[in-house]
């Protein structure tokens, strides 16, 4: 039986009605009178010194209000973790998505025309597009400090000794591609001066606290004079951090200069050209294994392409170094992960955040090991997989409930994995047109930010005098359902139906800086803060009830919009929720409270890579079935099972939704998506050439939710957003092997990879650019 | 130039430029921002509207081509506040995540059911194959459309 009233049930999303009627307003849907339109002038070389920018002619064009370059930024032009992202390119251009100048005009057509009239003199520099090349001593440098962004290490045991004990070695190189977040809503913002010498910006920033600081910094204004309002977001997946901030801050600069509202909307092409991507990785995996199937040594070297700016590279690659061994025992580990600057698009946060890449390598290695020692993929994982109190490569003892083997076994049983796998393996492939395969992948994942950063989000609960409830949180909803999860948590604590609870748009002045809604920390951390805030309000109400109704003993229970007293297992109603609210206000006790959730139990040593990286972990298994057309190389995913231990599902429908969406994105990563750049030039800049899965590409999926409540999560909840995506690609790659006997070493497993084992290059200009209707 | 058209049962007579696109007419000239822009080249379906009984990508239609046409946008789907069964089903099946694809999806689904009240799962997937969704993996959307079809039997 469900011990909760609202938590754990299927509840309709609190914000779906407006979305299904067209009433929901996304950033580009906002307009105000006398607004101007912004447009950007892109760099013309991926690496060049900017000698001179001539804007005079553009400024003279009728309808143009202003043209700005880096010289016109009153405050800070640089931002980021290592502050090297340029709002407007200054000393040099470092990738083709750099913006050298911005224009505001009466309409978008004029703004675009003016952009064409801006002339820039460059001194072209040699450029570097391969991160391994970039790390060589004689490589051309993007920054004086050199091209290495970061080098993370993990050192455990003695690697030489480990390899000495090994009976054989498996050594492979894996590569993964850059991919686009492809949130369906391109970035947009509307910036306007307010009446008190400040600015208001409406936009779709995933991390609006960062945007707030960047915009105030660029305008040279105190934070209190800049208000950020977050509109309904059309997806983000980690992507609307710096990319959306750039759009918003450029609009704000134009608004400041002109004194008028400025709207800036990215086209899909702008979005592809400017925005950061998932890091492409090169991974060198070398494992020393024993005949019995155990692993004596693991040595990994990984190089990530960070592109032109630092962005989240240090954190993304940190997760990779922590998780590079997978959830498998090994006494001797040496891992090195590097990120390097290149003149490609910069790379940053994307759902998965450094795990999808290493999971592809780990799970491919595991299958190869199974094959070498004559075991099945399931057997080898059950043999090597983490159990209760296992110690990870970073020396962390897993003292929460370790459910790896549960999720593996459950998935295998549900899909008859062993039988199907053996059957496909033994089938004759030669002469066949279509072959079938089944593949398995599992993973563990550290929850939330871990030792990578401060982790303390806030929430606010306000029970209004009429008994309706307003919530605000520093955690935002980009489509994953945070509003609903938060509303459920507050409603549960206060014993109210969901319809009484209203979630307010995030606003930079409303809730204290909560950091970014990233790392699948929304529910476990933000939800935790919401629970504390609601409990704080409930405490005021409880105290008032005790005084007013003279209750000394017994527990006060909030249920079904009423207040009860529980003594010796029997419950007696005291009054309605509304009556108690009224009593509180009459007693001069407004029902307004905030809550902060702060879990600080992580640690890390940079030199040895040892420490308690995350306060808890989640476990999952994916099983994919594929059909491969041996004539064309086309892979069809025909069946998919995804099992995840989520701690506690706050809302089952939403957890399933996260799983299905994650699988789709993981499948895109596995078999079709590829952001192609040639000499820094983006070739796939819209959906005609950058393919994401359609309804016809997706099989019917099945999800299994496993629940082992975690002491750190609200009601035991952990997370699902990123786990949902991170093992789909390796499950598919392993299924392809089961079908064809060919191992995939390079993602995506598209036609050329399947047939040739490598990617074809093409040197043509993008075809569809010339076809686009210009109006 | 001047065009006349009907949008959600309301008649409009508008003075427009010949290069105006239907999607911009809807969004910027009559304020119906429920119709979204996700690619502007006819690939994503976010701008789907029903025009004379057929779904079209309104980013590929010139406003002048809509002269005399009857158009339904997402704002015209509910009837006096009563949701269309497809909208209701989207809510019940959690088929709405970020919601950016939802207007186009709902219109494609309604148009399918108008022409084929008993679609198979494959026919449903085919009908929405021109509507990209990055959030849902389509499963709950397909289930929603199926259930809307079943309920109207
Ligand atoms: S905006 Fe029209 S199809 Fe994408
Ligand atoms: S719900 Fe986000 S794109 Fe479909």
Q: Is B101 a pocket residue for ligand 2 (Cβ < 6 Å)?
A: yes
Residue-level pLDDT at A759 = 74
Q: Percentage of residues in chain A with pLDDT exceeding 90?
A: 77
Give residue A15 CA to ligand 2 midpoint distance, Å: 13
3-state secondary structure of A185: coil
Mean pLDDT of the A119-123 span: 97
pLDDT of residue A246: 98
| B8 and B70 belong to one structural domain | yes
Same domain, A318 and A438: yes
Of the candidates B39, B107, B130, B27, the residue with the CA atom closest to the CA atom of residue A182: B39
Asked if residue A511 lies in contact with residue A458, where contact means CB atoms within 8 angstroms, the answer is yes
In angstroms, the CA A243 to CA A236 distance is 10
Residues spanned by the domain of B54: 2-74
Measured in Å, residue B97 CA sits from the centre of ligand 2 at 6
User: Is B146 in the same domain as B120?
Assistant: yes
Do residues B92 and B48 both lie within one domain? Answer: no
Ligand 1 proximity of B40 Cβ (cutoff 6 Å): yes
CATH classification of the domain holding B144? 1.10.150.120
Burial class (CB in 10 A: 0-12, 13-18, 19+), A764: exposed
**DSSP letter string, A643-658:** EEE-SS-SSHHHHHHH
pLDDT digit string, tens, across residues B58-103: 999 999 999 999 999 999 999 988 999 999 999 999 999 999 999 9
B129–A694 C-beta distance less than 8 A: yes
Q: Which residue has the CA at smallest separation from atom 3 of ligand 1?
A: B42
Mutation test residue for ligand 2: of A479, A653, A668, the one with most atoms within 8 Å of CB: A479
Q: What is the pLDDT of residues A232-291, one digit of tens each?
A: 999 999 999 999 999 999 999 999 999 999 999 999 999 999 999 999 999 999 999 999
| Domain limit, last residue, from A571, A596, A621 | A596
**A502 Cβ contact partners less than 8 Å away, ≥ 6 residues apart:** A14, A468, A469, A470, A471, A487
Handedness of CA A753, A756, A757, A761 (dihedral sign): negative
| The total number of structural domains that make up chain A | 3
Give pLDDT tens digits for A494-518.
999 999 998 887 787 777 777 766 6
Nearest CA-CA distance, residue A339 and chain B, Å: 28
Q: Kindly report which listed range (A100-114, A526-540, A695-709, B42-56) carries the lowest average pLDDT score.
A: A526-540
From B35, B41, B108, B129, the mutation candidate for ligand 1 (largest count of ligand atoms within 8 A of CB) is: B41
Give the residue whose CA is nearest to atom 2 of ligand 2: B98
Q: Residue A519's pLDDT band (boundaries 50, 70, 90)?
A: low
Q: Are both A105 and A208 inside the same structural domain?
A: yes
Q: Measured at the alpha carbon of residue A133, what is the angle toward residues A131 and A137, in degrees to the nearest 5? A: 115
Residues found in chain B: 153
Determine the average pLDDT of the residues in A196-210. 92
Does the residue A61 lie in any domain?
Answer: yes
Dihedral sign (CA A320, A322, A327, A328): positive
- Does residue B137 belong to any structural domain of this protein? yes
- Does any ligand 1 atom lie closer than 6 A to the CB of residue B42? yes
> Average model confidence (pLDDT) for chain A?
92
Measured CA distances, A750 to A96, A497, A635, B99 (Å): 27, 48, 7, 30
Mutate to test the interface with B, among A11, A17, A18, A19 (most CBs of B within 10 A): A19
**Does any domain span residue A136?**
no
Indicate whether A764 belongs to any domain.
Answer: no
Q: Is B97 in the pocket of ligand 2 (CB under 6 A)?
A: yes
Q: Report the pLDDT value the prediction gives residue A175, as an integer from 0 to 100.
A: 97
pLDDT reported for residue A560: 94
Residue B2 forms beta bridges with which residues?
B15
Query: If you average pLDDT over every residue of chain B, what do you get?
Result: 97
List all residues of chain B from 81 to 120 with a beta carbon under 8 Å from chain A: 83, 87, 90-94, 96-103, 106
Residue in A19, A659, A696 nearest the CB of B125: A696
Q: Which of A220, A241, A274 marks a domain boundary?
A: A274
- Indicate whether A616 and A749 sit together in one domain: yes
Distance CA B34, CA B100 (A): 9
Residues B68 and B101 in one domain: no
Same domain, B12 and B49: yes
B8 with B51, same domain? yes
pLDDT in tens, A741-773: 999 999 999 888 888 887 776 555 554 443 444
Q: Is the CB of B132 under 6 A from ligand 2?
A: no
Which atom of ligand 2 lies at the shortest distance from residue A234's CA?
A: 2
Contacts of A233 in chain B (CB under 8 A): 98
Half-sphere exposure of A459 (CA within 13 A, CB side): 34
Ligand 1 contact, B25 CB (< 6 A)? no
Testing ligand 1's pocket by substitution, the residue of B21, B26, B34, B47 carrying the most ligand atoms inside 8 A of its CB is B47
Q: For chain B, how many structural domains are there in total?
A: 2
Outline where DSSP puts E strands in A404-535. Answer: 434-446, 458-463, 469-473, 501-503
- Is B80 part of a structural domain of the chain? no
Q: What was the pLDDT predicted at A453?
A: 65
What's B29's DSSP letter? I
- Nearest CA-CA distance, residue A262 and chain B, Å: 16
Per-residue tokens: A351: 């759902």
B135 lines ligand 2 (CB under 6 A): yes
Residue A133 lies in a domain: no
**In this structure, what are the phi and psi dihedrals at residue A218, rounded to the nearest 5 degrees?**
-70, -40
Based on the fold, state whether residues A624 and A709 are members of the same structural domain.
yes
| Structure-block tokens of residue A349 | 């946060």
pLDDT of residue A769: 42
Give the residue with greater pLDDT, A331 vs A481. A331
Per-residue DSSP letter, B82: B
- Pairing verdict, β A295-307 and A332-341: parallel
- What distances in angstroms separate CA A125 from CA A50, A98, A147, A273, A309, one per listed residue? 10, 15, 15, 20, 17
A378 and A430 in a single domain? The answer is: yes
DSSP state of A527: I
Q: Look at the block and give the residue holding tokens 């629970």.
A: A531
pLDDT at site A765: 55
Q: Is the pLDDT of residue A703 over 80?
A: yes
**CA torsion, points A519, A520, A526, A531, in degrees to nearest 10?**
-150
Reading the block at residue A544, the tokens are 């008032």
Query: Does some domain include residue B99?
Result: yes
Contact A451, A467 (CB under 8 A): no
Instruction: Dump strand ranges (E) for A613-713.
Output: 617-629, 635-645, 677-678, 681-682, 701-706
Q: Which of B33, B55, B59, B103 should be mutated for ligand 1, with most atoms under 8 A from CB?
A: B59
Tell me the residue range of the domain where A497 lies: 16-23+456-596
For residues A386 and A194, give the distance between their C-alpha atoms in angstroms, rounded to a whole number. Answer: 56
Which residues are CB-neighbours of A154 under 8 A, at least 6 positions away? A321, A322, A324, A333, A334, A335, A393, A394, A608, A609, A610
Nearest Cα residue to A723 out of A392, A486, A487, A480: A480
Residue with tokens 């894996």: A174
Boundary of a domain, candidates B41, B74, B107: B74
The nearest alpha carbon in chain A to B39 belongs to A268
Measured in whole angstroms, the distance separating CA A771 from the mean position of its chain's CA atoms is: 33
Query: Least CB-CB distance to B39: which of A237, A268, A773?
Result: A268
Give the C-alpha separation, A649 to A706, whole Å: 9
Q: Which residues of A touch B27 (CB under 8 A)?
A: 29
Overall pTM surpassing 0.90 (yes/no): yes
From A239, A274, A309, give the residue that closes a domain: A274
What's the CA gap between A307 and A143, in Å, rounded?
12
Q: How far is the CA of B36 from the centre of ligand 2 (A)?
A: 12
Closest CA to A58 of A68, A48, A50: A68
A661 lines ligand 2 (CB under 6 A): no
% of chain A surpassing 70 pLDDT: 96
Whether B35 and B64 map to the same domain: the answer is yes
Shared domain check, A209 and A95 = yes
Tally of CB atoms within 10 A around A51? 9
Tell me: pLDDT of B24 over 70.
yes
For residues B93 and B65, state if they share a domain: no
Question: A422 and A326, same structural domain?
Answer: yes
Residue A598: the pLDDT is: 78
Same domain, A541 and A662: no
Model pLDDT, residue B54: 96
Ligand 1 touching residue B34 (CB < 6 A): no
CATH number for position A403: 3.30.365.10
3-state SS class at A181: coil
Residues A112 and A246 occupy one common structural domain: yes
Please name the member of A17, A18, A22 whose beta carbon is closest to the beta carbon of B73. Answer: A22
B25 touches chain A (CB under 8 A): no
Residue nearest to atom 3 of ligand 2 (CA): B133
Tokens of A67: 């043209």
Tell me the CATH number at A220: 3.90.1170.50
Give the pLDDT score at A540.
Answer: 95
Q: A524: CA distance to ligand 2 center in Å? A: 23
Strand partners, B12: B5
CA A402 to ligand 1 centroid distance, Å: 45
Let me know whether B44 and B21 are in one domain: yes
Residue A412 maps to a domain: yes
**Cβ separation of A183 and B36 shorter than 8 Å?**
no
Residue B125 lies in a domain: yes
Residue A7 lies in a domain: no
As a dihedral over the C-alpha atoms of residue A250, residue A256, residue A259, residue A262, rounded to 10 degrees, the angle is 20
Q: Do B135 and A661 touch (CB under 8 A)?
A: yes
Contact at CB, B134 and A233, closer than 8 angstroms: no
Q: Note whether A576 and A681 are same-domain residues.
A: no
Residue A8 lies in a domain: no
Query: Is A220 in the same domain as A365?
Result: no
**How far is the centre of ligand 2, averaged over its atoms, from the C-alpha of A45 (Å)?**
35
The whole-angstrom separation of Cα A125 and Cα A128 is: 10
Same domain flag for B36 and B65: yes
B64 in a structural domain: yes
Domain co-membership, B89 together with B147: yes
- Whether residue A460 sits in one domain with residue A446: no
Sheet of strand B54-57: strand arrangement = B10-15, B2-7, B70-72, B48-51, B54-57
Residue A425: C-alpha distances to residues A364, A420, A703, A735 (Å): 16, 8, 25, 10
Q: Are residues B132 and B97 located together in one domain of the fold?
A: yes
Whether A297 maps to a domain, the answer reads yes
CATH number of the CATH domain containing B27: 3.10.20.30
Convert the pLDDT of each residue in A623-661 to its tens digit: 999 999 998 899 999 999 999 999 988 888 889 999 999
In what helix (H) or strand (E) does residue A270 lie, and over which residues does it extend?
helix A268-274
- Residues A423-459 have pLDDT tens digits of 999 987 778 899 999 999 999 999 877 766 666 788 8
Kindly tell me the sign of the dihedral angle through the C-alpha atoms of A703, A708, A709, A712.
negative
The model's confidence at residue A7, banded by pLDDT at 50, 70 and 90, is confident
Residues of B with CB below 8 A from A14's CB? Answer: none
């Amino acid at each position: 039986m469900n011990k909760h009233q609202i938590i754990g049930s299927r509840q309709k999303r609190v914000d779906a009605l407006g979305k299904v009627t067209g009433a929901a307003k996304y950033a580009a849907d906002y307009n105000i009178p006398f607004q101007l339109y912004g447009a950007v002038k892109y760099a013309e070389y991926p690496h060049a010194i900017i000698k001179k920018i001539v804007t005079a002619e553009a400024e003279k064009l009728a309808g143009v209000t202003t043209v700005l370059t880096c010289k016109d930024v009153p405050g800070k032009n640089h931002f980021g973790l290592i502050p090297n992202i340029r709002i407007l390119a200054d000393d040099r251009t470092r990738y083709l998505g750099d913006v050298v100048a911005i224009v505001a005009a009466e309409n978008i057509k004029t703004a675009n025309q003016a952009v064409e009239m801006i002339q820039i003199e460059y001194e072209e520099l040699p450029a570097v597009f391969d991160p391994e090349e970039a790390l060589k001593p004689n490589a051309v440098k993007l920054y004086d400090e050199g091209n290495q962004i970061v080098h993370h290490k993990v050192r455990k045991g003695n690697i030489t000794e480990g390899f000495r004990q090994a009976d054989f070695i498996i050594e492979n190189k894996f590569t993964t591609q850059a991919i686009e977040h492809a949130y369906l809503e391109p970035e947009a913002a509307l910036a306007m001066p307010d009446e008190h010498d400040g600015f208001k910006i409406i936009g779709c920033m995933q991390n609006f606290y960062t945007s707030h600081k960047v915009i105030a910094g660029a305008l040279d204004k105190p934070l209190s004079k800049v208000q950020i309002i977050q509109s309904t977001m059309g997806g983000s997946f980690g992507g609307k951090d710096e990319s959306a901030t750039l759009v918003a801050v450029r609009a704000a600069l134009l608004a400041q200069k002109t004194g008028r509202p400025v709207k800036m909307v990215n086209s899909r092409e702008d979005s592809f050209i400017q925005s950061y991507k998932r890091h492409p990785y090169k991974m060198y995996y070398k494992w020393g294994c024993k005949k019995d199937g155990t692993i004596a040594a693991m040595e990994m070297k990984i190089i990530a392409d960070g592109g032109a700016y630092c962005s989240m590279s240090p954190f993304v690659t940190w997760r990779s170094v922590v998780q590079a061994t997978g959830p498998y025992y090994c006494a001797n580990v040496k891992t090195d992960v590097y990120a390097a600057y290149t003149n490609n698009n910069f790379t940053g946060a994307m759902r998965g955040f450094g795990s999808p890449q290493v999971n592809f390598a780990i799970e491919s290695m595991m299958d190869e090991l199974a094959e070498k020692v004559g075991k099945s993929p399931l057997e080898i994982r059950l043999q090597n997989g983490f159990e209760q109190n296992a110690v990870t490569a970073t020396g962390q003892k897993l003292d929460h409930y370790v459910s790896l083997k549960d999720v593996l076994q459950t998935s295998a049983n549900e899909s008859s994995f062993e039988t199907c796998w053996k059957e496909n393996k033994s089938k004759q492939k030669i002469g066949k047109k279509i072959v079938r395969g089944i593949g398995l992948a599992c993973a563990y994942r550290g929850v939330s930010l871990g030792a990578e950063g401060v982790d303390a989000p806030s929430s606010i609960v306000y029970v209004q005098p009429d008994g309706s409830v307003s919530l605000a949180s520093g955690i935002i909803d980009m489509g994953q359902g945070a509003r609903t999860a938060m509303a459920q948590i507050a409603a549960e604590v206060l014993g109210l139906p969901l319809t009484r609870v209203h979630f307010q748009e995030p606003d930079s002045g409303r809730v204290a800086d909560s950091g970014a809604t990233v790392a699948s920390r929304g529910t476990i951390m933000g939800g935790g803060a919401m629970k504390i805030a609601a409990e704080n309000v409930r405490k005021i109400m409880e105290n008032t009830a005790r005084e007013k109704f003279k209750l000394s003993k017994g527990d006060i229970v909030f249920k079904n919009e009423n207040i009860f007293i529980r003594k010796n297992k029997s419950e007696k109603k005291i009054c309605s929720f509304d009556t108690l609210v009224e009593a509180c206000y009459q007693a001069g006790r407004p029902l307004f409270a905030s809550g902060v959730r702060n879990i600080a139990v992580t640690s890390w040593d940079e030199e040895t890579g040892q420490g308690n990286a995350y306060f808890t972990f989640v476990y999952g298994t994916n099983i994919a079935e594929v059909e491969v057309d041996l004539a064309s190389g086309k892979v069809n995913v025909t069946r998919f099972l995804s099992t995840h231990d989520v701690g506690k599902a706050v809302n089952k429908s939403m957890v399933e939704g996260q799983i299905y969406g994650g699988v789709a994105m993981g499948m895109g990563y596995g078999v079709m998506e590829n952001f192609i750049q040639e000499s820094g030039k983006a070739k796939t800049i819209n959906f005609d050439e950058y393919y994401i899965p359609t309804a016809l590409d997706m099989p019917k999926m099945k999800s299994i939710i496993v629940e082992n409540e975690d002491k750190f999560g609200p009601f035991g909840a952990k997370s699902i957003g990123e786990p949902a995506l991170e093992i789909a690609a390796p499950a598919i790659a392993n299924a392809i092997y089961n079908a064809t006997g060919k191992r995939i070493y390079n993602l995506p497993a598209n036609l050329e990879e399947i047939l040739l084992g490598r990617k074809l290059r093409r040197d043509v200009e993008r075809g569809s650019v010339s076809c686009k209707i210009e109006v | 130039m001047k065009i006349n058209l009907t949008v959600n049962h309301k008649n409009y007579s508008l003075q427009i430029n010949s290069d105006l696109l239907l999607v911009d007419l809807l969004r910027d000239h009559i304020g119906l921002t429920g119709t979204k822009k996700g690619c502007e080249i006819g690939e994503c379906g976010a701008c789907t509207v029903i025009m004379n009984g057929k779904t079209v990508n309104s980013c590929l239609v010139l406003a002048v081509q809509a002269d005399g046409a009857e158009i339904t946008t997402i704002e015209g789907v509910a009837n006096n506040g009563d949701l269309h069964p497809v909208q209701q089903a989207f809510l019940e099946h959690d088929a709405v995540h970020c919601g950016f694809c939802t207007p186009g999806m709902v219109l494609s689904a309604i148009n399918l059911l108008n022409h084929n009240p008993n679609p198979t799962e494959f026919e449903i997937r085919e009908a929405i194959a021109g509507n990209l969704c990055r959030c849902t993996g389509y499963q709950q959307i397909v289930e929603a459309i199926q259930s809307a079809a079943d309920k109207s039997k």
